[in-house]
Chains A and B, each alone.
Chain A
């Protein structure tokens, strides 16, 4: 996959789901409290790597996400750190009442990991594409919501969420993605990473849109516009300070996410901006529609998730 990148040269790294699976198996070796339940997709979520090493702490719950989440809740109540994984749409949409009632409301220390998020899964089509999942997770009181941009940050997020008490949703994707970070880079839940400084406009992105934002920033620079690029990997609790500084120090903000328009990163950044420091904003997202089947790069182009779409949005923001 190219992700429409033409201006930056980023090496291809691991898929975020695979990096999660590797990190989970590592964490599992150090912490016996970690127990995994998977909705019979462990060879896709890569929790199978944990399962191979720790079969006594791995449970295939079958194709029954509601029960899987309930089991995770009970395990958490016994002091375990359960990780419940499936395709993000089946986890978050099928089991939402269980997530609400058995995890969020009683504030259980359950880690939900949804893979195959977004339209970049491609040919399997819209029934498999989680594009509401961030909104659903962010609506839940007490939840931490993380959307990592590459394999290195997905692994770091996995370690961080296990170490941090509280219900968490980690969103991972299917394709291999451009590698943005090195293993020396810092990752802290709730603290955005500024990947590029700039004073004209700010591009706030997460997931696969971070690489595209870096690419867009190059394009904007060629036109004399200096863009700040922020990886807002933690959607909740969002880094209010980074948003406020961006609103103060640049002339507008573009938010880019592989998600529906309403309820995701764009909505949350907008709330912060409108309360703290109103400024011009524009949004790059899937919009208010379901996608179709197709090759991932073609779908991203079709639904406007490209570096050029981010360039256009930034240009619009600065024009007004």
Chain B
């Protein structure tokens, strides 16, 4: 498959800043959405799509040998759309159509409408099972393509995540990498106060996964984690990425545990974009 590439940007910091910029502008234009949950996953998807990890071709979005990225935490859609624009699936000018009547950029990702979206998500807990299906299908076909799934930590309260984790471990799905965007907060407060996940590493190890915990905002650590994941070879891998909800916007970081599902108003957005400082 000569057309499939692993695109690599020489300035991932700039990529991450652009993603943050688009997350803020698109949700503010929409007047709704989840900017803070989108901001916590930025470095991870920047590395996946622009750091030489995912193998894809935006002109051939259903190429059977493409690597897959499934965003199980579907409310992170603004971040996904932004990175799909960065990757060439969408035109960045479309991003401010988010959530508008007639726009294919719906509040949560719709795979039937947006090229590059691998699964329709938004009902939490389902993406890992879908990823397991992809991983099995690729293995049946003898493909070396890989599957990456991102869940939130709050989302991991869903039982289906653990059904899928058990199955993936049992079937040694080494072509499957899970990323837990562990921003520590869910809709009404901190995960640790609502339904603590710790010890999360032990849970996945018990399910026969290879586990690595990183700072999810360190581009180097994210990059190394995906290199490690590819080298594991005999088991599914989970990258537990410690992140900050609202990362990159000071007044969102300060209100991590209480800021969910709200866009910034125009004035807030202007301050946020100043802080982000992207060149777009």
Contacts and interface: CB of A to CB of B under 8 A. Distances in A.
Interface of A: 35, 56-57, 59, 61-62, 64, 66-80, 82, 97-98, 100-102, 105-107
B140 A57 contact: yes
A71 B120 contact: no
Contacts of B64: 78-79
21 contacts: A35-B136, A57-B140, A62-B166, A66-B125, A66-B159, A69-B129, A70-B133, A70-B164, A71-B133, A72-B133, A74-B133, A75-B134, A77-B118, A78-B140, A80-B137, A98-B126, A101-B120, A102-B126, A102-B130, A105-B120, A106-B120
Interface residues of B, number: 32
B129 A71 contact: yes
B111 interface: yes
Contacts of A70: 126, 128-130, 132-133, 160, 164
Contact of B136 (A71, A97, A106): A71
B130 to A, nearest CB: 4
A107 B132 CA distance: 18
Contact of B130 (A35, A74, A107): A74
B134 A102 contact: no
A81 to B, nearest CB: 11
Contacts of B138: 78
B122 interface: yes
A67 B137 contact: no
Contacts of A72: 133
B250 to A, nearest CB: 36
A22 B64 CA distance: 31
A75 B118 CA distance: 12
Interface string B112-147: 100000111111011011111111111011000000
A67 B167 CA distance: 8
Nearest to A100: B123
- Judged by DSSP, the binding face of A is helix
Contacts of A79: 64, 137
- Judged by DSSP, the binding face of B is helix
Contacts of B140: 35, 56-57, 78, 80
Given A62-B163, A74-B137, A102-B129, 12 more contacts: A35-B136, A56-B140, A59-B136, A66-B163, A71-B167, A74-B136, A77-B118, A77-B137, A78-B140, A97-B126, A101-B120, A106-B119
Given A70-B133, A71-B133, A74-B130, A64 B123 contact: no
Nearest 8 A/B pairs, CB to CB: A74-B133, A70-B129, A78-B137, A67-B163, A64-B163, A71-B133, A74-B134, A74-B130
B238 to A, nearest CB: 16
B132 A71 contact: yes
Nearest to A56: B140
Contacts of B164: 67, 70-71
Contacts of A76: 133
A67 B119 CA distance: 15
B122 A101 contact: yes
Contacts of B118: 77
Contact of B119 (A56, A61, A75, A102): A102
A107 B119 CA distance: 11
A236 to B, nearest CB: 20
Contact of A101 (B112, B123, B132, B135): B123
A77 B120 contact: no
Contacts of B137: 35, 74-75, 77-80
A130 B134 CA distance: 30
A67 B132 contact: yes
A68 B167 CA distance: 9
A106 B171 CA distance: 26
Nearest to A74: B133
A59 B171 CA distance: 10
Contacts of B123: 97, 100-101
A77 B110 CA distance: 13
B141 A78 contact: yes
A106 B112 contact: yes
Contacts of B125: 66
A72 to B, nearest CB: 6
Nearest to A61: B167
Nearest to A69: B129
A108 B163 CA distance: 21
A136 to B, nearest CB: 16
A68 B160 CA distance: 10
A192 B120 CA distance: 34
Contacts of A77: 111, 118-119, 130, 133-134, 137
Nearest to B117: A106
A29 B141 CA distance: 17
Nearest to B120: A106
Interface in B158-185: 159-160, 163-164, 166-167, 171
B112 A82 contact: no
Interface string B242-269: 0000000000000000000000000000
Contacts of B110: 105-106
A75 B131 CA distance: 9
A107 B131 CA distance: 17
Nearest to A101: B123
Nearest to B143: A78
